[in-house]
């Protein structure tokens, strides 16, 4: 498989997990009505997905280090496929929640394994470039998923969304089986017992540089998940955006991620990724603080929310490839575990941020903006503390 074919394949696989969130958002009220369930009960089916994404990654990483990338990825795709069919056939909200958990446990393999494959094949700078290409494909998911989900909801009903999930997983399962080679040769695989796997995680957690870059990227990602969790209420309920247009605003922010990731790919050939982070993270922080000020004062009305939000979300296209490459490059011998821990921490912080948006909700956009601003500020400080002393301002 060639370079760009590999990039498209890994990017499309990486998009499977998020597609399970973004395509499903427009259907939440309809599902609640059909099942006669409360909005809170249906919201659990979204929250449990984040829990599954966080928990499952911790298993897939070491497993891929032990048996190889491809069989581990295939097992996750099969579970996602079967669980998607279960979601489509669910007759009770409790059943849907259970299958959503299984869907997440399968879908998270497609987040862990592509990062490990990139580390298997590429060094630090080339990894940044490849991860930026992945972000291009990955970034299309938030643009297309709500729009596709909304149209499927109107014309074919909410169950068709999960049938499409199943079809998407089946297609890429065939691609993986037929065309994607194994990136981890048998002689490089680790046969570690559980105690040794836990020791690897312990060593990674104590690695100041690894954890610094992981937490920096995870905090910006947490701000992104806070945006995903809070934007339907803020856009539709507070600023009267018609539900059918929500996907357009949601997608416009994803365009920022795509543009940023491709500029980052160009920069990767010309400058150190640490320098890129030192330039971009102040923008994340500033965008979050402007968002909070505008939400608190009402300045700019809806554009006052949308513009700084666009800039904050766009910085994810710079931050994610660079922090991932910087965190994982020194840990090639345990790339699966390093990728798994990175992904688990991302979704733990992301689920926490999304939950805070709901818990702190007071009928205004201020809690939504405050959580995003806090993520930006703490990410900036964390990166500053992670940089070698000679690179600090």
- DSSP for 53-79, please give it: HHHHHHHHHHHHHHH-HHHHHHHHHHH
pTM to 2 decimal places: 0.78
Chain CA centroid to CA 101, Å: 16
Residue 248 has pLDDT above 60, yes or no: yes
What local confidence, expressed as pLDDT, does residue 389 receive? Answer: 45
73-82, 98-107, 240-249, 366-375, range with the lowest pLDDT: 240-249
Cβ-Cβ contacts under 8 Å for 306 (sequence gap 6 or more): 249
Q: What percent of the chain has pLDDT over 90?
A: 35
Selection from 129, 151, 148, 130 nearest residue 140 by Cα: 148
Q: Identify the pLDDT of residue 80.
A: 96
Helices 243-268/208-231 angle, 10° precision: 160
Q: What does R_g of the chain's alpha carbons equal in angstroms?
A: 20
250-265 average pLDDT score: 81
Instruction: Out of 97-111, 124-138, 247-261, 263-277, pick the least confident.
Output: 124-138
Cβ atoms of 336 and 347 within 8 Å: the answer is no
Single out the residue of 218, 163, 183 nearest to residue 73, CA to CA.
183
**Rounded CA gap, 217 and 317, in Å?**
10
The band of 39, judged by pLDDT with boundaries at 50, 70 and 90, is low
Give the C-alpha distances (Å, rounded to integers) separating 267 from 56, 275, 283.
Answer: 33, 10, 17
Q: What is the pLDDT of residue 85?
A: 97
The mean pLDDT value for 297-320 works out to 92
The burial class, CB within 10 Å (0-12 / 13-18 / 19+), for 393 is exposed
What mean pLDDT is predicted for residues 271-290? 93
CA angle at residue 181 from 175 to 118, to 5 degrees? 100
| Separation of CA 287 from chain center | 20
Higher-pLDDT residue of 112 and 105 is 105
Query: Could you tell me the pLDDT band of residue 138, with boundaries at 50, 70 and 90?
Result: low
Structure tokens that stand for 47 in this block: 């929250």
- Contact (Cβ atoms closer than 8 angstroms) between residue 316 and residue 221: yes
Give the pLDDT band (50/70/90) at residue 391: low
- How many CB atoms are closer than 10 A to CB 173? 18
More confident position, 200 or 74: 74
Check pLDDT > 70 for residue 106: yes
Q: Which residues contact 206 (CB under 8 A, 6 or more apart)?
A: none
Structure-model confidence comparison of residues 357 and 98, the more confident one: 98
- Where do we find the tokens 């205004």? 364
Residue 192: Cβ within 10 Å count: 16
Average pLDDT taken over every residue of the chain: 85
Higher-pLDDT residue of 387 and 59 is: 59
**Residue 390: pLDDT band by 50, 70, 90 thresholds?**
very low
Residue that the structure tokens 């201020």 belong to: 366
Residue 264: the pLDDT is 84
Cβ–Cβ contacts within 10 Å for residue 391, how many?
Answer: 12
Give yes or no for residue 52 having a pLDDT over 50: yes
Higher pLDDT, 183 or 180: 180
Q: How confident is the model at residue 190 (pLDDT cuts 50, 70, 90)?
A: confident
Cβ–Cβ < 8 Å for 37, 160: no
Is 341 a residue whose pLDDT tops 70? yes
Query: Among 4-18, 100-114, 379-393, which stretch is predicted with the lowest mean pLDDT?
Result: 379-393
Q: Tell me: pLDDT of 23 over 90.
A: no
For residue 142, pLDDT beyond 70: no
Average pLDDT over residues 100-128: 86
H helix count then E strand count, the chain: 16, 0
- The number of beta carbons lying within 10 Å of the beta carbon of residue 334 is 23
Using the predicted structure, report yes or no on whether residue 20 has a pLDDT greater than 90.
no
What is the per-residue pLDDT for 244? Answer: 66
For the chain, the structural domain boundaries read 3-179+190-391
Tokens matching residue 187: 């002689």
Q: Is domain 3-179+190-391 annotated with CATH 3.40.50.970?
A: no
237 pLDDT above the threshold of 80: no
Q: What is the pLDDT of residue 293?
A: 96
Three-state DSSP state, 26: helix
Predicted confidence (pLDDT) at residue 189 exceeds the cutoff of 50: yes
pLDDT at 191: 74
Strands (E), the chain: none
**210 close to 330: Cβ distance less than 8 angstroms:** yes
Q: How many CA atoms lie within 13 A of 281 on its CB side?
A: 32
């Amino acid at each position: 498989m060639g370079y760009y074919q590999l990039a498209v394949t890994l990017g499309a696989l990486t998009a499977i997990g998020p597609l399970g969130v973004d395509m499903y958002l427009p259907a939440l009220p309809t599902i609640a009505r059909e099942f006669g369930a409360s909005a809170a009960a249906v919201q659990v089916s979204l929250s449990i997905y984040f829990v599954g994404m966080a928990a499952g990654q911790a298993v897939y990483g070491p497993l891929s280090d032990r048996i190889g990338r491809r069989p581990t990825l295939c097992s996750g795709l099969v579970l996602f496929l079967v669980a998607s069919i279960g979601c489509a056939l669910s007759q009770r909200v409790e059943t849907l929640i259970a299958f959503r958990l299984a869907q997440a446990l399968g879908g998270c393999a497609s987040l862990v394994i592509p990062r490990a494959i990139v580390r298997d094949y590429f060094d630090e700078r080339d990894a940044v470039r490849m991860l930026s290409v992945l972000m291009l494909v990955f970034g299309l998911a938030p643009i297309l998923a709500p729009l596709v989900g909304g149209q499927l909801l109107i014309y074919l009903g909410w169950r068709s969304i999960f049938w499409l999930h199943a079809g998407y997983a089946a297609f890429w399962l065939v691609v993986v089986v037929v065309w994607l080679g194994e990136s981890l040769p048998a002689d490089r695989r680790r046969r570690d017992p559980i105690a040794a796997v836990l020791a690897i995680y312990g060593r990674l957690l104590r690695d100041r540089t690894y954890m610094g870059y992981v937490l920096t990227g995870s905090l910006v990602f947490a701000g992104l998940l806070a945006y995903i969790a809070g934007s339907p209420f803020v856009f539709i309920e507070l600023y009267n955006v018609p539900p059918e247009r929500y996907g357009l605003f949601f997608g416009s922010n994803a365009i920022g991620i795509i543009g940023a990731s491709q500029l980052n790919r160009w920069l990767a050939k010309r400058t150190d990724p640490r320098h890129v982070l030192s330039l971009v993270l102040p923008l994340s922080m500033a965008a979050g603080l402007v968002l909070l000020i505008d939400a608190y004062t009402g300045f700019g009305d809806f554009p006052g929310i949308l513009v700084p939000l666009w800039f904050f979300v766009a910085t994810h296209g710079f931050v994610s490839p660079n922090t991932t490459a910087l965190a994982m490059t020194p840990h090639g011998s345990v790339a699966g575990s390093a990728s798994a821990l990175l992904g688990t921490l991302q979704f733990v912080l992301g689920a926490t941020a999304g939950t805070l948006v709901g818990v702190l909700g007071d009928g205004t956009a201020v809690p939504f903006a405050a959580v995003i601003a806090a993520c930006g500020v703490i990410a900036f400080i964390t990166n500053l503390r992670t940089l070698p002393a000679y690179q600090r301002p």
